[in-house]
Structure 1
């Protein structure tokens, strides 16, 4: 059985009342993956805007009750926070595939592009120490409102994405592949987010597609993502 672990920041944990891209991807895999799988991780909560903490558990009203809520994601967390945790969580949940969307928080508050890329490498090393054949899909930092308004920050994001591509290429092995997903084609912060950063329904589908399509193309998992299925 394949075990997928979503690892991410606020765009991955999602907020109370949302579907999340995790749900969209689960729907897609359930419909198209010809193999048993699970979604795993140590956390289940959503971000609660009322408390500004991971205190919410109510997704959108039409979310399938069978959806496994598990993840390793946190509002305001980045590579800086997940790198020390990943080894133990991969061990505990026997994750086979890590679906990773991190970096915006790091660049915004903690580390520069080079330091963030160094944490990417350490993250991969930590995961492989406990599960040598673990697979990973990494999403670059996608367009966001801060980069749109701050040229220096935009340059740092661009530099990190270049370094992330280099690290993914260097770290990739046949035994433990590392894939770099593309920035979702046509991503528009005015159309695909509700605040310039966090995905709305359209953005959730695009993020799910970014992960689904690269896994299908590289590993034959499922089919290409079609939002009309859902």
Structure 2
């Protein structure tokens, strides 16, 4: 015999849950999935592999920007005892033109899950090796095309490169200045709405004597300063992906 009183009581209980704003639990297979982490790739030559990444990671964590994953096929070492994600795509001694000629980047992007955000510092070795500015910019354009082929909506933070000490000679120093001027012009022309390129100026306030040990690479003083230069644009890029 059907017990209509029991059925009515159960119906009332369900109704009370809805009215009181207490939702019934979803089955496990219908629960909302965890948000995917934003994949961030530091990319370039030896400077891209440096300890500034640890300070950038720490600053992001300290400001509750934790839904991130630094990616790349390379692993960094210890940096001032900071617990950080060591993955990156920095290759000491490398040149932008070399990356293009060897078709290196597409494979690295694929191995890293096609990053959402790419932080670029590249071109120093091209300048030291006297590659013409126009050829370096052409290589940059090809690399950006490869990034977008891997992910059409990739956000790119592209640095004007750090200055060099006098020991590198006036030709190299002028080459850095010329390249940075060219980057400032090139960036906006290559930027798109879906895949913006944000140019950052790393040269303001930079002292090659106190911020490096060798006149080129950031040291323990320079690394936090360099990370701070990347921080605002990196945060904006991460938030544009995760919202």
Normalised TM-score (structure 2): 0.76
CA contact (8 A) 2:200 2:230 kept: yes
Number of aligned residue pairs: give it. 201
Q: Can you give the 5+ residue segments of structure 1 that lack an aligned partner in the other structure?
A: 15-19, 46-56, 223-230
- Between structure 1 and structure 2, the one with the greater Rg is 2
User: Cα 1:22–1:86, aligned 2, differ >3 Å: closer, same or farther?
Assistant: same
**d(CA) in 1 for partners of 2:42 and 2:239?**
16
Q: Does 1:12 align with 2:31?
A: no
**d(CA) in 1 for partners of 2:177 and 2:203?**
15
CA contact (8 A) 1:103 1:116 kept: yes
Partner of 2:92: 75
1:12-61 C-alpha deviation (Å, 9 max, x unpaired): 223xxxxx00101111111224451100001115xxxxxxxxxxx4x146
CA RMSD of aligned residues (A): 2.1
CA contact (8 A) 2:201 2:229 kept: yes
Secondary structure in 2 aligned to 1:77? Answer: coil
How far has the Cα of 1:210 moved from its partner?
1.1
Superposition map of 1:1-230 within 5 A: 1-14=37-50, 20-34=51-65, 36-45=67-76, 57=77, 59-60=78-79, 62-64=81-83, 67-83=84-100, 84-93=103-112, 94-109=114-129, 111-146=131-166, 150-216=169-235, 218-219=236-237, 221=239
1:193-216 C-alpha deviation (Å, 9 max, x unpaired): 111111111210111111112334
How far has the Cα of 1:219 moved from its partner?
4.6
CA contact (8 A) 1:103 1:140 kept: no
How far has the Cα of 1:184 moved from its partner?
4.3
CA contact (8 A) 1:138 1:180 kept: yes
CA contact (8 A) 1:117 1:167 kept: yes
How far has the Cα of 1:140 moved from its partner?
1.2
Q: Can you give the 5+ residue segments of structure 2 that lack an aligned partner in the other structure?
A: 1-36
